Amino acid sequence: MDVKKITIRRENGETIEAQAPVIVSASRSTDIPAFYADWFLHRLKVGYSAWTNPFNGVRSYVAYDHTRLIVFWSKDPKPLLDAGGCLDYLAERGINCYIQYTLNDYVAEKLECGVPPVQERIDTFRRLVDKLGFGKVIWRFDPMILTEQVGTEEILEKVGRIGSQLKGYTEKLVFSFADIRAYRKVQNNLNNNHIRYHEFEEEDMLAIARGLSELNCNWGYTLATCGEKIDIESFGIIHNKCVDDDLMIKYFRDDKKLMDYLGVEIVKGDLFNPTDTIVKHRNNKDKGQRLFCGCIASKDIGEYNTCPHLCEYCYANASKETAVCNWEQHRNNPYAETITGE
């Protein structure tokens, strides 16, 4: 799935080459809906934004001329509901979207001090479903994390309370187990914030899987892990695709440009066989993601070290100070080419 490149004109008049992705991720690297929704809406209207590679510092440009779908990732996507905001604009443009909504409950443990109260976030979830339609807001309890205060039973209690209130508003629960050793930034942040954590062992994962399976008898959700090696399908838990071509086919199959990009052929049913036949002509898996990530290819437009939620376990911020500094820089120049106001 090669991304096309086109020539665009920057706001300063310079002519440059830009990527023109069909699928945009907004974003794994920061919470664009919560803090940068106005910036993103402006950049969509301008037609492009700039992105800095976190590994080599090279700036590149992303044009939205061919964009057919946006995957939002957020812990507080309430700003998307603003009248005349992103969702309304996307609807006017005929651009599809769905939301990966991380709705945890670490209030008592103060692991997520920057997010609104749980009940407010549940209300936002329901309002988003009312606006976008059932199935287009996916619930994530992510990550599940073990501390001195939070064991497997406490996690299941937290998931159970939220899951019961989302019944009828979501068809899926996606979760992951915090893999702290593998992510130095996560480990450093937890240590710096004096959080006494425990790594998940296989017995912990199996206890969670067993408990979720029991809870799900009352819900009927699809249960799925994000980027996890462990096989717990015996509990009815599958491996997820968060940027998901199957979801796109299910809800956006009438968008021929998107289907053509995915290599999907929709053979319409007839009088004798009224069910449409879906033919996938290629595997769209993103080879640049983690080994056990099932996502298909997309272009992420966010940047690390820019999320003011300041969650204690964050993998996307090297430090709270850096994130706050970049947030303030953005606020001084809120419609710049980049999220960081440059």
pLDDT tens by residue, 214-249: 999 999 999 999 999 999 999 999 999 999 999 999
Domain regions of the chain by residue span: 27-32+68-332
pTM over 0.85: yes
CA distances (Å), origin 87, targets 34, 46, 213: 13, 16, 34
pLDDT tens by residue, 146-193: 999 999 999 999 999 999 999 999 999 999 999 887 777 788 888 887
| pLDDT(103) > 70 | yes
Residue among 248, 265, 241, 240 at smallest CA distance from 69: 248
Beta carbons of 47 and 8 less than 8 angstroms apart: yes
Q: How many CA atoms lie within 13 A of 80 on its CB side?
A: 31
| Residue 22 pLDDT class (50, 70, 90 cuts) | very high
What is the average pLDDT value for the chain, to the nearest integer? 95
What totals of helices (H) and strands (E) does the chain contain, helices first?
10, 16
| Residues ≥6 apart with Cβ < 8 Å to 319 | 189, 192, 305
CB burial of residue 38 (10 Å; 0-12, 13-18, 19+) = middle
Structure tokens at 198: 């425990």
| pLDDT reported for residue 180 | 83
